[in-house]
A and B are shown apart, each in its own frame.
Chain A
C-alpha cells in the first residue's frame, strides 16, 4: 500500500532536522540517503510524497537525477536545495522540474511551510 514518505538526498544539518520535524508532525516516513544508488533504488521502488535533494557536491549527477526524477515521476514534488546564491544554477533547477528551489537568500525556514503544503495537497 502506498505510504506517505519523504526522500532526501545529501541533506544534513539544520535542514535535515527541520525535515525530521515535519515528517514526525505529519506522521510520515523520512528516508535519508547520501548514496546515489540507494536514492535511485528508493525512487524506483515506491512512490514518494516529496524528494528533497542538495545541489552541491557533484552537480552533474545531482542535476541529472533531478531531471530523470521529474521526467519519470512527473507528479512527484521535488525540492532542490543549494547553499550559495547562484541564480543560474537555481534557474536550471527550476527548469529541470523542481517544485521549489531553495537557494540563498531565501531562508531555510521556508522549507517547513512548503513541505507542509506539499504534504497537505496529497493528504489533506
Chain B
C-alpha cells in the first residue's frame, strides 16, 4: 500500500454526542463556559457563546455545570 493512502483516525464516540443548548434569554455573557471548556470548542461572539469547533465537543457538560445563569443545558442521553 502506498504511503499516500490516508489513514483515517476513527472517532466513533464524539461525533454523536449531544451538543450544549443555550437559552439566550438567560445568558448574561459572563464567558465562564468559554473559560471552563476543556477542548476549547466554545468561544464568545460578543456577549453570546457559540461553538466554532463543534466536532471538538466531547459533551463533558462542564459549560452547563459552571454557568451561573443556568443558561446552558446538556442532556444525559446520547443521540
List A residues at the B interface (Cβ < 8 Å).
Answer: 1-5, 24, 26-29, 122-123
Contact = CB atoms under 8 A, between A and B. Distances in A.
Given A27-B41, A123-B43, A1 B20 contact: yes
Contacts, number: 43
B22 interface: yes
Contacts of A28: 52-55
Contacts of A2: 22, 45, 48, 50-51
Interface in B2-53: 19-22, 41-43, 45, 48-53
Question: What class of interface size applies to chain B in its complex with A?
Answer: 10 to 19
Interface string B35-79: 000000111010011111111100000000000000010000000
Contact of B54 (A24, A27, A122): A27
Interface of B: 19-22, 41-43, 45, 48-56, 72
A122 B52 CA distance: 8
Nearest to A123: B52
Contacts of A29: 54-55
A79 to B, nearest CB: 19
B62 to A, nearest CB: 14
In the A-B complex, the 5 residue pairs with the smallest Cβ-Cβ separation, listed nearest first, are A123-B52, A27-B53, A1-B22, A3-B54, A27-B55
15 contacts: A1-B20, A1-B49, A1-B50, A1-B51, A1-B72, A2-B22, A3-B51, A4-B51, A24-B55, A27-B41, A27-B53, A27-B54, A28-B54, A29-B54, A123-B53
A27 B22 contact: no
A27 B56 contact: yes
Nearest to A26: B53
Nearest to A30: B55
